Amino acid sequence: MHAFRFESLTLPPEAEEMRRKVRAFLQEERDTGRYAAHRTSWSTFDPEFSKRAAKAGFIGMTWPKQYGGGEYSNLQRFVVTEEMLAAGAPGGAHWIADRQSGPQILKHGSERARQLILPKIAAGECYFGIGMSEPDSGSDLAAARTKADKVEGGWVINGTKIWTSNAHRVHYLIVLARTEPLSENRHAGLSQFIVDTSSEGIEIRPIMNLSGGHEFNEVFFKSCFVPDDMMIGKPGEGWTRVTGELAFERAGPDRFMSDIRLLVELVDKIGREPNERQAVEIGRLAAHFATLRRMSSSIAGLLERGESPVTEAALVKDVGTAFEREVPEMVRKLLPIEASLDDDDEYSQAMAHVLLHAPSFTIRGGTPEILRGMIARGLGLR
């Protein structure tokens, strides 16, 4: 049976140096009033913030310089990610491109796609969305029915994607489509494509979320042409490519720090003399947080060694998002307040922001049932 190893990792001096750099950048952003940490998070879409973060060198950090990257290590990138989250920075415009689409193109895209797209992502000017889920294919991605037919010079896509975050404001989607008819091996015959959202044959319709905001979309492809060199990998490799992309998506600190600002506000509000219950619960949450951080940084170490820790990433995503869901519940018990986005009080605002988004934390990027199935398989239990 396979056993997990989450090796302890001591961050090297250059990672700590990077921490000082990103903290100074974020401090200046807050001091000049460019964002309000208690109301924003990694999914807040703010292109101007992304452009400034890129200028400071915080996007595409690990990529080669020839594609606009900084040639930093995964550990230096890890530090920047956790500092952005701790500061509640609004990195939503570049987040997906930096976290998964760019690395996917770098690893498996054509040379033209690399040269055309990666420098723009690293400049904070090009954003991506994820075209995986379909109306009848969310958890069961292999059931995807969107299809791509071969034509001269490329492929023609027909089908529908759903829950596509930010499709209405990103430049590209990475779309999973069937390039061969469904066969007994459901994982065969799928391929991934980089689709320009300004192409002909794409219609994007909004779906409002719980807080009344427009993040989600339904995306219709009607004979949408994609050139050959915008395929990721080779025809039929889609299943391997998409599971690799999900490993980038699941292991980072964004899977346990989405509402960390609320915890910080709670600790500030309680002050230096907590009652016994408050001390016990805050201590427990802090211990969970430290464990998650160790697991996630250990995965950054595996990535640095060129490994693809798919099962470990599923574990971090499952345990991490359960932690994120627990934070508002615990906060509500320890220091009850009337939560409102319109309140002057930052704690009340932070609570309202989290309450409206927390239900999605365990769904986006894979539900607990699916992740636990993957973990069981990784452990050789099924």
List residues binding ligand FAD (CB under 6 A).
129-133, 138-139, 163-165, 360, 363-364, 366-367, 369-370
- Within 8 A by CB and 6+ apart from 99, the residues are 248, 249, 252, 254
- Within 8 A by CB and 6+ apart from 286, the residues are none
In the complex, the smallest distance separating the C-beta of residue 137 from ligand FAD, rounded to whole angstroms, is: 7
In the complex, the smallest distance separating the C-beta of residue 359 from ligand FAD, rounded to whole angstroms, is: 8
In the complex, the smallest distance separating the C-beta of residue 278 from ligand FAD, rounded to whole angstroms, is: 31
Q: Which residue is nearest to ligand FAD (CB)?
A: 138
Nearest to 268 by CA among 83, 37, 25: 37
* DSSP H stretches of helix in the chain: 13-31, 47-55, 74-86, 92-96, 102-108, 111-122, 238-250, 260-270, 276-304, 310-334, 346-361, 368-378
In the complex, the smallest distance separating the C-beta of residue 93 from ligand FAD, rounded to whole angstroms, is: 14
Backbone angles phi, psi at 193, to 5 degrees: -130, 145
Nearer to ligand FAD, 74 or 360 (CB): 360
Nearer to ligand FAD, 82 or 318 (CB): 318
In the complex, the smallest distance separating the C-beta of residue 115 from ligand FAD, rounded to whole angstroms, is: 26
In the complex, the smallest distance separating the C-beta of residue 19 from ligand FAD, rounded to whole angstroms, is: 29
Q: Which residues pair with 175 in a beta bridge?
A: 131, 193
CA distance 132 to 125: 23
Nearer to ligand FAD, 163 or 239 (CB): 163
Tokens of 323: 């932690």
In the complex, the smallest distance separating the C-beta of residue 264 from ligand FAD, rounded to whole angstroms, is: 23
CA distance 128 to 43: 13
- Per-residue DSSP letter, 140: -
Nearer to ligand FAD, 29 or 215 (CB): 215
CA distance 101 to 225: 20
Which amino acid belongs to residue 289? Answer: F
Nearer to ligand FAD, 135 or 153 (CB): 135
Nearer to ligand FAD, 128 or 155 (CB): 128
Nearest to 147 by CA among 187, 109, 182, 173: 182
Nearer to ligand FAD, 178 or 364 (CB): 364
